[in-house]
Amino acid sequence: MDRFVLMIALWSLAAVVGAVPPPHAEPVPGGIVVVPLGVMGDKLPIVRFLGNRVMVLRQNDGWEAVVGIPLGSRRGHYKLHVDQDGRDQAISFLVEPKKYQEQHLTLKNRHMVNPTAEEMKRIRRDHLVIKRALRGFRPLQEVPTRFTLPVIGRVSSTFGLRRFFNDQARKPHSGLDLAAPAGTPVQAPAAGRISATGNFFFDGNTVFIDHGQGLVTMYCHLSEIDVKPGQDVKAGELLGKVGMTGRATGPHLHWGVSLNDARVDPTLFLTADELARLTHY
């Protein structure tokens, strides 16, 4: 069965039974693993993976850990560490391999491929701000796990692509690129709090939304930013407008999703209706 058809069926089943499902599970690099904890009680359990706090959702009388798998992970067994009444319990899970396709792009601005020493200083400063935003963790009991698309546009780059700029290998593509005309409104896909905004060398004008429990989304290459740090936003609220600031070959939105500081495939959070709009790619 086609992956997107299967995901739509899973979302629909969840709606029928009245449950609020976690994101779609895909135990691969850049994917998500959902691990039953079997922990009782009302207190939010503390779960860590690779040293980072992990999202935990209430499911019936127990809890489930929703774990983002870093793109650089290899096949093998990994462990969650659960703090239960002061005792550390380890739970193992398996990550399967996944091979992503390659993408070769040619950039006229060679500085976006090989920055100068001065530009590298700025890039390192940018990295500190971005890292801080992506590592945020607000211990909310309820977290949105189903998103709408932040902008309607053609998918120009899928998640996980092994990228080459001017024939030079670079890090895998950590988000979903949606091509749309410059000035197209970009909307929040779910409720959250603006944790940071900024203008960065590679990402251009960028907005970060903290949705709670280590779930952070980012919106890059904007022509305008229409929100401020600390502002609470609702689903559908304006964040900014599509542009091509930073490293971009045309106007588009780079939409990234980070879970426990691991960049994961944004399509794993899409509702059935929104997912169906992406089947064309």
**Domain of residue 240, CATH code:** 2.70.70.10
For the entire predicted model, the pTM comes to 0.87
Cα–Cα nearest to 174, from 247, 72, 250: 72
**60 three-state secondary structure:** coil
**262 three-state secondary structure:** strand
Q: Which of 78, 95, 112 is the last residue of a domain?
A: 95
Q: Does residue 40 sit in the same domain as residue 80?
A: yes
Domain that holds residue 17: 3-95
What is the residue-level pLDDT of the chain in tens, covering all 281 positions?
Answer: 444 444 434 444 443 333 457 899 999 999 999 999 976 677 888 999 999 999 999 887 789 999 999 999 999 999 999 987 777 889 999 999 998 877 656 666 775 667 789 989 999 999 999 999 999 999 998 899 999 999 988 898 889 887 566 556 557 778 999 999 999 999 999 999 999 999 999 899 999 999 999 999 999 999 999 999 999 999 999 999 999 999 888 999 999 999 999 999 999 999 888 888 875 44
Q: Which of 95, 127, 158 is the last residue of a domain?
A: 95
Q: Does residue 249 sit in the same domain as residue 113?
A: yes
Taking a C-beta distance cutoff of 8 angstroms, is the pair 154, 181 a contact? no
In the block, tokens 């701000």 appear at 129
Q: Which of 76, 95, 114 is the last residue of a domain?
A: 95
Query: Which H/E stretch holds residue 9?
Result: helix 3-17
Ramachandran angles phi, psi of 51, nearest 5°: 85, -5
Q: Does residue 254 sit in the same domain as residue 271?
A: yes
**134 three-state secondary structure:** helix
d(CA 192, CA 175): 19
The pairing of beta strand 102-105 with beta strand 162-165: parallel
d(CA 162, CA 84): 39
Q: Does residue 110 sit in the same domain as residue 245?
A: yes
In a domain, 245, yes or no: yes
